[in-house]
Structure 1
């Protein structure tokens, strides 16, 4: 099926074409929709460009429906949008742009279709298909975007140095598209990204993180991170991750490259979850290894305490990168802090007490923590990987058994502080907290069951010892 036949099947294209003909406007569907149509990717965003007023065209299209169609007009930008079920349809007049050196906000003027295509970021996004009746379905592809789709290449339509200097966010977009589509980046385009990497400094952290999160959510996010590293873009906004790269050696003792280990963990976990924040936990889990790296003559390289320091670093990374400072950050921070705990339990001698404490600390995030720990098992020795994962099976089975009998996930004390104060006539004080802590410890150690009756018995015994009655 050719492109014209595909457009024929969707009413909006003929409807827009009829309205455009009535207004005498040369009109095209452009950009991402055209690219995705060729790639057979689903897309719910349609962009139309007309040589004239996009707002006038949008208004006429909205009025052409018998039912009410929501119309949003953005006069300052010369754009308008209508919503049709799941579709978002945007209209804009063809324009040309010029930039100042200290800003990515362009000076915009009315332009021709060719000038509009020249301002597009990449050749694969610069194709246009006419919707006017006389040449409906005709492709206008001055920069050979179709050829680049077949070659699987990301390339700028004009001089990449101008493209990226004008709008440095396009460097992030180049890598994001390469990641999402599994394309290569044209050598001249990539060289220009390297040359202009420092220009990323004029882009807001919010725009950068939006592109980065889209890269993180692809099937194999390591590809995008390798391109970010090789292009020096990663160095501009995530120096902590860059610091993971490299291997130190003393004699015959060396450690693994923690940058590439982190990417392997990220790819591993991406096969089991689409949870962006669990993927972020994979990215940050070893972030403090450079700061905790030490050499010991007997055991070689160590990273003692990197999990705790990594958890302490997490809020600062989130704040600087404009990631959410809410429960999502706390979730990532918890997983970073706990990511070594299940590994320490990979033993036939694991105790119920250790499992209870893990369940207590992880709460409802225990399943995600175990996914992270499984993803963290990376080795060139496949037998070693198989053995570790089999041991994790035992730990998970133990978790199921302990949780079913002891119910310590999201632990709530069986006796409240108010009940303790009422029982012994106490005011709010340190002793109340100490009694609650002793009950919790007794449950986690398996000395009593997690129920009110046994907790009350222990309380009475503690009261005698502490001379509360």
Structure 2
């Protein structure tokens, strides 16, 4: 416990300029103010926060007045939930009135009621490790629900019964999985049992809120822990049914790789490769592509007479399934396009053989991957989970060769900006035509020639264009 106290003391000193000054302002006005939730939990774990959450006995309009003249900027987008936000130098500060909230069984949004006590406010929070507070400016720790002990034991429990907690806000079931993934904690058996029994309650939560929790979980340090919990409790069946569907029925006569376990391993191996990306990780697009890359397998599984199993075209089918699921979860079009492209292309490398691809085929690989080329490199490498070390080494060397060829061609030909020798205006000028479909067809023809032959001069492109026009 001494180490925890030391960690908290160090963090409180770091943020003293905020908590002491702000605490005095509220105390002088007759209100309580306490640092609460994640910043307190992470202070005990030795982690620093510049986003500080407070809870107070003051009502939102009183909080806003007390922040005026202290904060550099103030916003009130969360006023309906009792929250006033502000910025003070490098600190983002959110102050929320003591509250309780509950869900109508048919509603997607919580009913917010303000409370009168700190203990009551802490009691409505999701987990005991998030239900600790430090009163300021006095810096007294308030831990009515045993959060310090649970933090030491690395376990997630709810302050009250998990059934009441999840009934108030069913999204907390997703948060249990997310915090397991973020902190590497185990989840109390009673919490797991309640998640399993109440899994269908998640269906009243909006797709956007579910999506946001899923993104945080997947971008966490230990996503396997959270994803496994979602599958085991039945929550995944409601929010990401493609994942549990990967646990294909085992058949002793038709043995094949466990696609579910393979997928989780690919995800972890993809995470290990994130250092290849600008800025490193965590990178949601590459992680979600790893998670979804084989979702087409259940629908395309076929048993062959010799006892083998095939999954023909599962890449194309998987891309369609991925696009549909991401749309349902309200992801942006850019994210949907990026992940779906990676899923669709994840098998392309396996046609490379031992390096038989022509330069033309390599150019097409780069063109089809587009901006996702580096992520495709990562996914393809991560997709090798064989225990046969000789096979794994061979695949790695072969992909090394492909990347070296791409780098060499890129340097020689500027592959990143694959364009034919003439643009649309030049095509119209050479052919003596105006804008229309024929211009696009001519451009596509020149682009295909560029793929096959490599770079062409403007004169070569003009000659090829006239030859093409003469055949039409």
Larger radius of gyration: 1
Within-5 A mapping of 1:388-467: 388-426=395-433, 435-446=442-453, 449-462=455-468, 466=471
Residue 34 of structure 1: how far off its partner (Å): 0.8
Q: Secondary structure at the match of 1:355?
A: helix
Within-5 A mapping of 1:351-370: 351-370=358-377
TM-score by structure 2 length?
0.89
Counterpart of 2:19? 13
Please tell me whether residue 39 in structure 1 is matched to residue 45 in structure 2: yes
Q: Secondary structure at the match of 1:92?
A: strand
Counterpart of 2:35? 29
Counterpart of 1:320? 328
Counterpart of 2:265? 264
The answer to which of 102-111 and 275-284 deviates more is 102-111
Residue 93 of structure 1: how far off its partner (Å): 2.9
Please tell me whether residue 72 in structure 1 is matched to residue 75 in structure 2: yes
Within-5 A mapping of 1:298-317: 298=306, 300-317=308-325
Contact map agreement 2:36 2:54 (CA 8 A) in 1 = yes
Contact map agreement 1:179 1:215 (CA 8 A) in 2 = yes
Counterpart of 1:145? 147
Distance 2:400 2:307 in 1: 28
- The number of residues matched between the two structures is 457
Residue 171 of structure 1: how far off its partner (Å): 0.6
The answer to which of 414-423 and 150-159 deviates more is 414-423
Q: After superposition, give the CA deviation of every residue in 1:15-45 in whole Å (9 maximum; x if it has no partner).
A: 1222233122233221111111111112122
Residue 53 of structure 1: how far off its partner (Å): 3.3
Unaligned runs of 5+ in 1: none
Q: Secondary structure at the match of 2:257?
A: coil
The answer to which of 48-57 and 118-127 deviates more is 48-57
Contact map agreement 1:346 1:395 (CA 8 A) in 2 = no
The answer to which of 207-216 and 349-358 deviates more is 349-358
Contact map agreement 1:72 1:80 (CA 8 A) in 2 = yes
- Return closer, same or farther for 1:459/1:90 CA change in 2, 3 Å cut-off: closer
Distance 1:346 1:95 in 2: 62
Within-5 A mapping of 1:56-205: 56-63=62-69, 65=70, 69-73=72-76, 75-103=79-107, 104-132=109-137, 136-205=138-207
TM-score by structure 1 length?
0.90
Distance 1:436 1:45 in 2: 52
Contact map agreement 1:55 1:78 (CA 8 A) in 2 = no
Contact map agreement 1:99 1:166 (CA 8 A) in 2 = yes
Contact map agreement 1:343 1:373 (CA 8 A) in 2 = no
Contact map agreement 2:101 2:110 (CA 8 A) in 1 = no
Counterpart of 2:304? 296
Contact map agreement 2:97 2:114 (CA 8 A) in 1 = no
Distance 1:439 1:48 in 2: 62
Counterpart of 1:223? 225
Unaligned runs of 5+ in 2: 1-5, 275-280
